[in-house]
Structure 1
Amino acid sequence: MRIAIVAPSPVPFGPGGAEALWAGLYHQLLADSPHDVELLKVPVRETDLPEVMAAYESFTSLDLTHFDMVITGKYPAWMVQHPRHVVYMLHPLRGLYDSYRYFGEPTTVDDPDPRVRALVDTAAALRRSTVPALFAQFSEAVRELGPAHPALRFPGPLARSLVHALDRVGLSEASRYLAISRTVAEREGYFPTGAQVSVVHPPSDLTGLHEEPGEYFFTASRHDAPKRLDLLVRAMAHYPGSRRLVIAGTGPETPRLAELAAGDPRIELVGRVSQEELVTHYARAIGVPFIPVDEDLGLITYEAMRSGKPVLTASDSGGPTEFVRPGLNGAVVEPTPRAVGRGLAEIERLAGSPRTAELARRAVSHISWSHVADALTAPPARPVAHHADRASGGDGRPRLVVTSTFPVWPPRNGGQLRAYHLYRELADQYDVHIVCQAATGTVPSARLIAPGMTEHVVPRTREHHDAEQRITDLAALPVTDIVAGRLSALTPEYARTLADLLRGAAAVLLADPFMYPVVADVRPESVPVIYDAYNCELHLKTQMLPHTTVRDELLDEVRRVEAAACDAASLVLTVSQEDAAQLRALYGTPAEKFAAAPNGVDLRSVPYTPMAARVVQRDRWLARLRALGAGSDLRHVAMFVGSWHLPNIEAAEAICAMAPEVPDTAFVLLGSHTGALRRRVTPPNVFPLGVVSDAAKLTMLAAADVALAPLMTGSGTNLKVVEYLAAGVPVVSTPVGLRGLRMPEGTVQVSALGDFPEMIGAVLARSATADSRSELARRAVEAAYDWSAVADGVRDRLESVLVVPAP
């Protein structure tokens, strides 16, 4: 697509959070997406009402028809006209919205002048077609009344009336709505009534964030009154410790802050600092206090937590409270000097625990530019017809309802990829509706994520989240999926949505077994159950759950739910023969219930790279690594991809152990599993790159000499191995890594973990003949593991159990 990011450029110019956001999004789309992108900035002054109105008018005149999509996020840019206009809301003109009350101005215009009354009347009935008339009418009023007329004061009730009217027109025409935080999404009057708003947190553009031993409290903000740095300074009188408080930044409040801090030698104002100095301060902080009033988002919170530091914020601080979990990765206190002083002592205490740093990083681990870009460029939502009385969707096709404990879009990890691609293939024949639970604070929505496939997002309530968190703390591992069914009564909207869609459905498909208790409560007897068993869950959870006081209780719960799902299902799809055998042995499920549905790959999105082109790409990668300080003796690249999943973490540890034995090979690790290596000193030829964009992963798939699957535990089959083979990368795997896959002999080198260094060397030595083996592997993947082939293999079995009325 040709995408335009349209934004105001403040006059006088000063780089701020909005400028960083648009620059980050622009560079993400430019570098790591298939789209063409342009960043269009229009100069905007807003010292008085005529300047504000002129700015609004300038955006209405932009011709953007040569773009396929337009993204805006701040006034007055959303006045542009485009059929695919996506609003990623930072904020409107807050001084005329939620902050207006601080100015003591009335909300209604009481000026009797007929020219003022005419403006108010036009604004009240404003439509796109009458916007030009409003601007002309306003210009005439300014000319006749003079810019100093009391009715034209800014802020003031007339200014509020005009801007609200213009925002109402511009925003009502958008095709999709997103917000940078739950705080912004929930503010009254920001979005059109009834708008479905998705929350997508943007990251900071600050690079190099890392953790060092903590020494002092640190915060950085523009010295403005809403940042409440004066409250923080006064709170130091109630902090009993000896740690310093270092405050970076400048602004109109700087002289007052210096005066307040003069009597306390522990407080240091260091002024404006460079990005490198800012990163160092975060790394050396013991904790980061950030207590603004009603902040939109607060990237300081993100930067601090990425650095592994606990954050202190206030109960009315808005955006920062979305990440801080009191007692775990920070503290939330009342905005009083005494409470903030106690909060400083609390985050100092928390900073002594390694678990605090891990929980801080985990709270923001989902935030990335690739996630933002994917969310903004996702297919547009469409209204969903509910209360259907027959086994079909709104277009007359049989309706297949899917239950899930996680959102499927955007597809990143194994479960999401399977759900998205397999059910998308089925959506050419069925009207697929996925009903998923989502994290607390996610905005509920129903969105079309592929032709014929709609995702219904139901966020877990705060009560549900808190109950789940208590169990997670006892289990020492996230248990969102295991307890989803048990706690679902705390999120009643899930059952209501599911019951609504199941009336007259052709079948309900369990994307995992854990929502079956809800299905059992609301499913009409005539609707059959299909269980898509990604894994043998009892086997997997037995491997994963630590030995805690609740382990046996949780495993019993997994066993009961998985057994009930197998018993109720008319059809059980399994990714491997081994999983089917385990489920039969555990639960006595009849063999005739099972059908094979292995994990696959979307071959349309994974190009095959022959060895000659691979060598060129590899050398470019190695040159980049050397430029970043890697050793000059590196000659080859081995890759591993994995999510935050215990078998993948164990595999990464195994790679770190074997890497010194293959010193001429760069071991590149991609995916969230690399977070488990943060505290480990990795060998110099191991490069944990973390979560990367799809484009970056494809680049690595085209550059690697060998791909690894050193897995010792796990269930199901590995999407990563199929993806490696589809791209033409030679693979070295343990037997577990190849579990459930049937590949021609010689296309994968299977080895015990201890023999991996020797096997990697053998693969590298045979690079001249690698194409013949990789071409054979690609053909085998096309025949059996392309998602269209997988779907073809289950369609007949689906037809045998679906309930579809005669035409």
Structure 2
Amino acid sequence: MQVAPTRFRHLRVAIVHDWLVVNGGAEKVLKGLAEVFPQAEIFTLVHTLERASIPWLTQHRIHTSGLQRLPFISRFYRHCLPLMPYAIEQFDLRGFDLVISSSHAVAKGVITHPGQTHICYCHTPMRYAWDMKEAYLENSHFRLPGMTAYVRKTLKRLRQWDYFTATQVDFFLANSHNVAQRIAKYYRRDADVLYPPVDTDSFTLHIGQREPYYLAASRLVPYKRMDLIIQAFAQDPLKRQLKVVGDGPEFQRLKRLAEGSPHIELIGYLQGEKLHQLMQRAQAFVFAADEDFGIVPLEAQACGTPVIAYGHGGALETVKGLEHHQQATGVYFTEQTVASLSAAIEAFEAHEFSPQACRLQAEAFSNAVFTQRLETLVSEKLN
């Protein structure tokens, strides 16, 4: 068990996290928070992760909400969105000095009290209630009459609740300058930037021969734009090889898109050493999402692998484009279109990238950097 830094050891700390259903980027931040505050108790709406996937969490007392008792909650937790504001407000945090919410949905709406400090680590303002509202409605394909109107009304109430609860947070930390700008836009609040931690020690720099394939890896949901990547490689006249790692609701649709393209392989879910080996040997990692931050491209760079990324959002802060010359770690494409991505692949192949430069870029986002800056920021907020 890690020991809390001396200046925090006396604090009673609660960490509030939206839900523990998938072990993704937000959970990597949660792990970083928990390591700095090993005495913290963790509050989350729903917890369905297997103990083996998050062994670092076993030393913490975990509290769940009433949603935990609903049948099949691990599959249908997102359908409970209208209930989540009420559920998060039921947590009793009166016994804590410091409350840290790790929020991309409702966690920051937890109720705190005079004498407590509430710091929100904001992964993003609730995207399906704000800037992704129309895309969310479009991709939902509601069949019941009046359902779209009902969801619009629900999202309007969520926006109002989301804005109000932002006024109750004492201090905001944003996971990128991109998110800090969105916090300013939607909440009218300032935020300090604290980049998520990248476990660079778990990735080995590969400087040897690479294999003739490109790699894409993420959860297979619409906004990740895996369809764009598959379409670009399916139409590639040179039939460049593409390996796609991941699982999710889009898997079957993406599999159909790849039919007739034997140079495209959908591998399914991988983690750990198998995924790392694919990253180490790929020509490049392809990333087409407009992400708030995006940890996986940095994990690829930690292996010495350059990135072909959509030039919006967090990728602009994590990937160094061709304007950095010998220190470049990737190439941007400016539009989420097949033509733009295909042109970026051509530009990538015309440039020689340094694996060492990629690794150095990733190390600027390491666990140690995250821990040091978190301790500094929390100390400032508590003084």
Task: State whether structure 2 residue 37 is matched by structure 1 residue 29.
Answer: yes
Counterpart secondary structure, 2:363? coil
Partner Cα separation in structure 2 for residue 164 and residue 256 of structure 1: 31
Cross-structure match for 1:330:
330
Using the TM superposition, give the Cα deviation of residue 238 of structure 1 relative to its aligned residue in structure 2, in angstroms: 5.6
Provide closer, same or farther for how the CA distance between residues 150 and 188 of structure 1 changes in structure 2, counting only shifts above 3 A. Answer: farther
Q: Which structure 2 residues correspond to residues 516-527 of structure 1 after superposition, within 5 A? A: none
Structure 2 runs not aligned, ≥5 long: 1-10, 47-66, 68-72, 139-143, 323-327
Partner Cα separation in structure 1 for residue 320 and residue 77 of structure 2: 41
Percent identity between the two aligned chains: 27
Cross-structure match for 1:619:
none
- Residues 716-747 of structure 1: CA distance to partner in whole angstroms, max 9, x if unpaired? xxxxxxxxxxxxxxxxxxxxxxxxxxxxxxxx
Q: 1:314 aligns with which of 291, 304, 310?
A: 310
Provide closer, same or farther for how the CA distance between residues 48 and 67 of structure 1 changes in structure 2, counting only shifts above 3 A. Answer: closer
Using the TM superposition, give the Cα deviation of residue 298 of structure 1 relative to its aligned residue in structure 2, in angstroms: 1.4
Provide closer, same or farther for how the CA distance between residues 248 and 379 of structure 1 changes in structure 2, counting only shifts above 3 A. Answer: closer
Counterpart secondary structure, 1:54? helix
Cross-structure match for 1:7:
17
Number of equivalenced pairs: 329
Cross-structure match for 1:66:
95
Partner Cα separation in structure 2 for residue 222 and residue 376 of structure 1: 28
Provide closer, same or farther for how the CA distance between residues 252 and 149 of structure 1 changes in structure 2, counting only shifts above 3 A. Answer: closer
CA contact (8 A) 1:3 1:69 kept: yes
Counterpart secondary structure, 2:276? helix
Structure 1 runs not aligned, ≥5 long: 31-35, 106-147, 382-447, 452-807
Partner Cα separation in structure 2 for residue 380 and residue 329 of structure 1: 32
Using the TM superposition, give the Cα deviation of residue 338 of structure 1 relative to its aligned residue in structure 2, in angstroms: 2.2
1:260 alignment partner AA: L
RMSD: 3.1
CA contact (8 A) 1:24 1:205 kept: no
CA contact (8 A) 1:241 1:345 kept: no
Task: State whether structure 2 residue 251 is matched by structure 1 residue 254.
Answer: yes
Counterpart secondary structure, 2:42? strand
Partner Cα separation in structure 2 for residue 50 and residue 274 of structure 1: 27
Using the TM superposition, give the Cα deviation of residue 151 of structure 1 relative to its aligned residue in structure 2, in angstroms: 8.3
Cross-structure match for 2:360:
362
Q: Output the TM-score relative to the length of structure 1.
A: 0.38
1:94 alignment partner AA: R
CA contact (8 A) 2:100 2:121 kept: yes
Partner Cα separation in structure 1 for residue 137 and residue 222 of structure 2: 17
Partner Cα separation in structure 1 for residue 77 and residue 364 of structure 2: 40
Q: 1:210 aligns with which of 188, 191, 204?
A: 204
Q: Which structure 2 residues correspond to residues 345-744 of structure 1 after superposition, within 5 A? A: 345-350=346-351, 352-353=352-353, 356-378=354-376
Partner Cα separation in structure 1 for residue 254 and residue 78 of structure 2: 32
Partner Cα separation in structure 1 for residue 303 and residue 342 of structure 2: 23
Q: Which structure 2 residues correspond to residues 714-793 of structure 1 after superposition, within 5 A? A: none
CA contact (8 A) 1:48 1:154 kept: no
Partner Cα separation in structure 1 for residue 301 and residue 79 of structure 2: 42
Task: State whether structure 2 residue 210 is matched by structure 1 residue 180.
Answer: no
Partner Cα separation in structure 2 for residue 255 and residue 342 of structure 1: 27
Task: State whether structure 2 residue 25 is matched by structure 1 residue 17.
Answer: yes
Partner Cα separation in structure 2 for residue 103 and residue 283 of structure 1: 34
Provide closer, same or farther for how the CA distance between residues 265 and 8 of structure 1 changes in structure 2, counting only shifts above 3 A. Answer: same
Write out the 4+ residue segments of structure 1 that deviate beyond 4 Å after TM superposition. 44-50, 148-154, 188-191, 237-243, 448-451
Using the TM superposition, give the Cα deviation of residue 332 of structure 1 relative to its aligned residue in structure 2, in angstroms: 0.7
Cross-structure match for 2:301:
305
Partner Cα separation in structure 1 for residue 238 and residue 145 of structure 2: 55
Counterpart secondary structure, 2:216? strand
1:253 alignment partner AA: E
Provide closer, same or farther for how the CA distance between residues 263 and 149 of structure 1 changes in structure 2, counting only shifts above 3 A. Answer: closer
CA contact (8 A) 1:49 1:154 kept: no
Using the TM superposition, give the Cα deviation of residue 197 of structure 1 relative to its aligned residue in structure 2, in angstroms: 0.9
Provide closer, same or farther for how the CA distance between residues 152 and 60 of structure 1 changes in structure 2, counting only shifts above 3 A. Answer: farther
Counterpart secondary structure, 2:95? coil
- Residues 92-132 of structure 1: CA distance to partner in whole angstroms, max 9, x if unpaired? 43211111123569xxxxxxxxxxxxxxxxxxxxxxxxxxx
